[in-house]
Structure 1
């Protein structure tokens, strides 16, 4: 035993390896031990030790894996790792719905009478969903339904009607919609939600009621009414009986809310990272405190707090340390009022929110349109991608890729490309944007409002003295013409083949398949058409930009500049062979 040291295999990780490793040491350490039978007590002990070592080895591997974002599988691990870089996993969003309320008398609901609740009828097998109106509102009986039988016509594109002053009590900003009642019992046909933009008294004495957007389709005036008294409700239930937390005066105090999940609504203000805000109100000894994303910019006297959400959707309120945010004094009573409920379960269909809070003036309620906007919490795999991505640019525009990412993050932008240009001899960043998912051909240019929104977002995040400014420009849409000869088998249908080939080529040049500056390659055309039932082979006769002269090689790729975006031009499919 004195001359030889046991050789240990540190790579061994499982039961069989541990057991065999210990058995291999017996001749070196205990040469007199010769019985290796399973009934031997020493072998039993070795097997027990190998069993425990196998379990500990698994735990060791799991702990090591959970320490890295790429290999972590537990939601708690991912949550804590992303918290180190200031990223909170998206908790989801609550759905919102337009609720129409018929009233018998004038109804003015103030802050003390809120929230006004409306819920589903609770049919067997269905989850009961409650929505709340949390902003004060006013309703008038005259706006329950306003007949439009006296209107001569309501064609598509109508954006105004004339009504007698006594027939309505509408004011600018009200939400309305048109409802056409069918002759036979059936679901009524409704216009999209409309916003009243003006109420103007005419020389005739009538009021001109204008709205936006214009009607997308025509309505029959004799069977149509204009419905007002529409308010916005959001999914969630108010929790007003949360236990009181008594502060102890220590820095960094925190307390946990008792119920989950806390309702989150989409932020209206610009923010660095979090797209939503919790429906939470915190008061310390009756004084309201304000939630912030981070306490890093808070001063010692700022009444600020921040929130954290763990892997079980439990929300914790975190107060300041004294240096960063104020500290609640010892004995102070901390009260929280919040709402719970969110997710896709709130995306209920139309005409299901029919049970209101008991108010004497309310005759009936319904949601004329399906609720929308509800989203479940971010999955672990989604968070592992979005978390690191959120700190690549850190909401600052430094590289051209940063400008592209920030521009593409603006609602309504489908694609963006940035480059350095010149303006008056000075360098500027030129950002070309294309609207999201255009359905028209050729695609439409971005609107003035969208360009202005993108410009404001980028200018607020660009470094000082690095560039002379930002220019948000229209893209150059380039039509691509393609002509192919399709040689068919004898049994193939010509009409079906032509339709299928044209559809594939149109998809190849669709908005989702193309990008700024991406060339259209001949190989992509052949790849899109292979294999195809009934097609023996395909000859590419033409692949060119419409603004360039015809000619050249049939296999030539079509190059595009970095501000150009391809779309389907004229696609000609010439079938040869096949059946009739």
Structure 2
């Protein structure tokens, strides 16, 4: 240890020498110079006098000499006690006879330690230390920690003009600072404070003319202080979530709370491109909303495009390459010669007229649309809500040998047809009328047909999103790579969700409506000699070789780019040229209505019409600062890790297709497995595709060492029968039909109305029956000879009727489809009495 303080009277050595404390220490150190015996090298022998007799066993390994400027690394050659110098040391060549006599004759030879070093030091101070070993700097056993070291100089006997006694007074007290008013932070108060200070240090200067140089300097310093005070306050304001004003600061504070503020999302829509000849439409083809006087197809860099842009249309761009065929412009559903047909709710298959198997593929998107009103026949009266996009999963060519007619023998040639199927998630949500309707003469198209189908199928469907690609922009030069924060010149940068054109398992409805703003990234890429730079949510997972950056949106819509530091993400090199390629156009303004897009900018010929049969959806604005302040502090309360079985059930219910889930933890031999039973919305089956999707969804929540197994619910089929009395004046058959419709799987027993562990109460049945017009009363009493039943199908009664409810287990869901082909799926019967 070193002395950290200075004292006027050092008493420690005195106390140690006069007490019985078993500690030794260094009293003083003398360098043999002019008094050295003949033949002894000068300034290389140190005489270290101890307070008490020097102990035995000290060697060169117990001595360390530090310090020096020109001469460093002084090494100890040998160490011996002065009283122990013997003829053997002379015979070994360590000392001379004269030295032996000199050491033995010292006044305190038993307390003196003789140390020989390999060279003499310079004029700088050195430190002599006694240590336990070269690797242990602690003092040897029995030595005082303070007095085991001493500072000395090899040149103490050199001629000097000054007193050799060191002067080490205590440092003076620091001067008191002048009084400063720390509340002076604006220009006026800082100016007055400087003048007050000058009145103290320069009382003779009294000039206050604004033109005076001294006044100008004071006012300049006051201005700088005012600016720095504002900057200091601004920095302090940005340090807290509640007071921060910049969106970048709010975003970073929120990320510390595990909350990711979203920067908005652009809208998407399905676009139909009608063509007169087969062609391939490239990706990123611009589409414009309707402008007056412009043709459907506008050539790039043409005067028509310049005139159209003057009307400021919204720009959409296709998101993938598309193959377009004239046969797909408009297709009709083939009814096999039947009349008055329709596609019911929940349909997932249909038949199209004509052989389209060569051009129509699984993964293509079709749009079912009501083209004319089924009653009036006018196109203007068609319901715009009866439009639905589906993604095909199966396309098979077939034929109708009867040609759509029923003459015997057939009088028409076979008709080629195409059977199509689409994803269950894209099931038809409404009834689509397939009848041919009479077309009024004033609303007939170019064909002039008097009868046309009420509904048609549109092909050549392309997914497009809001945003316009701008010319490349050169970013400012890189001067300081670690502080490089360029800003793009345009505002309103497009934020879009990831899209994979090769992924054909995502339903068409989800591609447009299920855009999650927190998952969006800016549509920006950078190019440089280092390669392509891509945006990422953060750089925590980036290594020092990855060319990635983070885009941070400010309140005014400007976008700042933040790069890595060569540890988390690569930093751009000095003077590295960076070129930005990006799109603009985002937010709710892109949620345009149906048939708003009408123009395409391309050099491809053969395009006849462009339209979006469905409205654009998914466009959202960036999250406001108030919303970030409100929701970010609650983010940590949302659990993002599944630990218990109840946690796994809650995480599974976050999936958009899951209505309810229950989980069970079981030991499967070597580890624990979480068995999750899922109730899908709409009663859809828990198939292999859904299991894979849900397993991927739960992976971010799963605990290490726990497997996940997913299965469907256990359905409890019901066996119900009741006697219903019908009011006079009502037909019993009509009332019974209304009752069966009320208790069908589409209404009362809809799969979404019941879930795990939810019982069925008899009072629910009674209330629903009594609400049907024409019902006088319902008999729910049981007894001998009565047909009333209220129990599980295929099982003996357990007293459910008397109890008034049918209980189910935690993994069970009631079912009552009333399908005569599948009585094991449950049934309900009504025995009608009275009425007509």
TM interval, shorter chain, is 0.5 to 0.7
- The 5 Å alignment of 1:293-304 reads 293-304=537-548
CA distance in 1, matches of 2:565, 2:531: 19
1:98 aligns with 2:343: no
**462, 466, 481: which one aligns with 1:250:** 481
Q: Partners of 1:190 and 1:139 in 2: how far apart?
A: 21
Residue of structure 2 equivalent to 1:45: none
Q: Distance in 1 between matches of 2:414 and 2:316?
A: 40
What is the deviation of 1:115? 3.3
Tell me the residue number matched to 2:714. 476
Q: Residues 328 and 459 of structure 2 are in contact (CA less than 8 Å); yes or no, is this contact kept in structure 1? A: yes
> How many angstroms apart in 2 are the aligned matches of 1:309 and 1:229?
37
Aligned to 2:466: 235
For residue 370 of structure 1, report the CA deviation from its aligned partner: 1.3
Q: Please report how far the alpha carbon of residue 416 of structure 1 lies from its aligned counterpart in structure 2 after TM superposition.
A: 2.0
> Which of the pair has the greater relative contact order for Cα pairs under 8 Å at 6+ separation?
1
What are the Cα deviations for residues 507-536 of structure 1, in whole angstroms up to 9, with x where unaligned?
9987667653456789999999xxxxxxxx
Q: CA deviation at 1:327?
A: 0.4
Question: CA 1:147/1:198 → structure 2, altered by over 3 Å: closer, same or farther?
Answer: closer
In 1: Cα distance, 2:544 partner to 2:658 partner: 40
Structure 2 residue corresponding to 1:445, chosen from 661, 685, 693: 685
Q: Secondary structure at the match of 1:415?
A: strand
Answer whether contact 2:679 2:756 (CA < 8 A) is retained: no
Provide the TM-score with structure 2 as the length reference.
Answer: 0.46
Q: Distance in 2 between matches of 1:291 and 1:223?
A: 51
Considering fraction of residues, name the structure with more strand: 1
Answer whether contact 2:287 2:598 (CA < 8 A) is retained.
no
2:275, 2:609 within 8 Å by CA — same for their partners in 1? no
Distance 1:197 1:317, change over 3 A: farther
Aligned to 1:82: 254
Matched, 1:408 2:653: yes
Within-5 A mapping of 1:185-204 = 185-187=378-380, 192-193=389-390, 195=392, 197-198=394-395
- Shift in alpha-carbon separation, 1:482–1:177, aligned structure 2, 3 A: closer
Partner of 1:158: 350
Please tell me whether residue 371 in structure 1 is matched to residue 615 in structure 2: yes
Which one is further off, 256-265 or 168-177? Answer: 168-177
Q: Please give the alpha-carbon distance, in whole angstroms, between the structure 2 residues aligned to 1:458 and 1:447.
A: 16
- The verdict on how the C-alpha distance between 1:526 and 1:207 changes in structure 2, with shifts beyond 3 A counting, is closer
> 1:181-330 maps to which residues of 2 (within 5 A)?
182=372, 184-187=377-380, 192-193=389-390, 195=392, 197-198=394-395, 209-213=418-422, 217=432, 218=434, 223=452, 227-240=458-471, 242=473, 244-251=475-482, 253-257=484-488, 258-266=490-498, 274-285=518-529, 287-311=531-555, 314-330=558-574
> Which ranges of structure 2 fall in alignment gaps of 5 or more residues?
1-232, 294-310, 344-348, 400-412, 437-448, 507-514, 724-733, 769-778, 782-788, 817-825, 831-836
Structure 1: gaps spanning 5 or more residues: 1-58, 486-494, 529-538, 574-580
Pick from 319, 329, 333 the counterpart of residue 145 of structure 1. 329
Corresponding residue pairs, total: 492
Instruction: Indicate conservation of the 8 Å contact 1:295/1:304, yes or no.
Output: yes
Task: Please tell me whether the aligned partners of residues 95 and 371 of structure 1 are also in contact (alpha carbons under 8 angstroms).
Answer: no
Contact 1:249/1:327 (8 A) holds in 2: no
Work out the CA distance in 2 between the residues paired with 1:523 and 1:171.
Answer: 51
Question: How far did 1:231 drift?
Answer: 1.7
- Give the Cα separation in 1 of the matches to 2:581 and 2:333: 48
Alignment partner of 1:90: what SS?
Answer: coil
Residue 677 of structure 2 is aligned to residue 432 of structure 1? yes
Query: Could you say if the C-alpha distance between residues 425 and 84 of structure 1 is closer, same or farther in structure 2, counting changes exceeding 3 Å?
Result: closer
Q: Which residue of structure 2 aligns with residue 4 of structure 1?
A: none
The correspondence of residues 524-543 of structure 1 with structure 2, limited to 5 A, is none
SS at 1:333's partner residue? coil
Q: Distance in 1 between matches of 2:329 and 2:523?
A: 33
Give the Å deviation of 1:323. 0.8
Spell out, residue by residue over 1:325-379, the C-alpha distance to the aligned partner (whole angstroms, 9 max, x if none): 1001112222222223334443333222113226462544333521343142475
Report if the CA contact (8 A) 1:291-1:305 is conserved: yes
Flag the 1:515–1:508 CA change in 2: closer, same or farther, 3 A.
same
Kindly report the root-mean-square deviation, in angstroms, between the aligned alpha carbons of the 2 structures.
Answer: 6.0
* 1:417 corresponds to which of 644, 649, 662: 662
Does structure 2 conserve the Cα–Cα contact (< 8 Å) formed by 1:267 and 1:276? no
CA separation in 1, counterparts of 2:806 and 2:246? Answer: 48
Contact 1:196 1:210 (8 Å CA) reproduced? no
The structure with the larger Rg is 2
Distance change (3 Å), C-alpha of 1:122 and 1:308: farther
1:260 positional shift: 1.7
Tell me, in whole angstroms, the C-alpha distance in 1 between the residues paired with 2:276 and 2:616: 29
Closer/same/farther in 2, CA of residues 426 and 97 from structure 1, 3 Å limit: same
* Aligned CA distance change for structure 1 residues 402 and 318 (closer, same or farther; 3 Å): farther
- Cα deviations by residue, 1:7-33 (Å, 9 ceiling, x for unpaired): xxxxxxxxxxxxxxxxxxxxxxxxxxx
Distance 1:195 1:510, change over 3 A: closer
Matched, 1:564 2:812: yes
**Residue 613 of structure 2: SS of its match in structure 1?**
coil
Q: Which residue of 1 aligns with 2:289?
A: 119
- 1:129 matched to 2:129: no
| CA-CA distance at 1:109 after TM superposition | 4.5
Is the 2:594–2:614 Cα contact (8 Å) retained in structure 1? yes
Structure 1 residue 317 displacement after superposition? 2.3
CA offset at residue 391 of structure 1? 7.8
CA contact (8 A) 2:757 2:811 kept: yes
Q: Matched residue of 1:450: which SS?
A: helix
Residues 471/349 of structure 1: CA separation in 2 closer, same or farther (3 Å cut): same
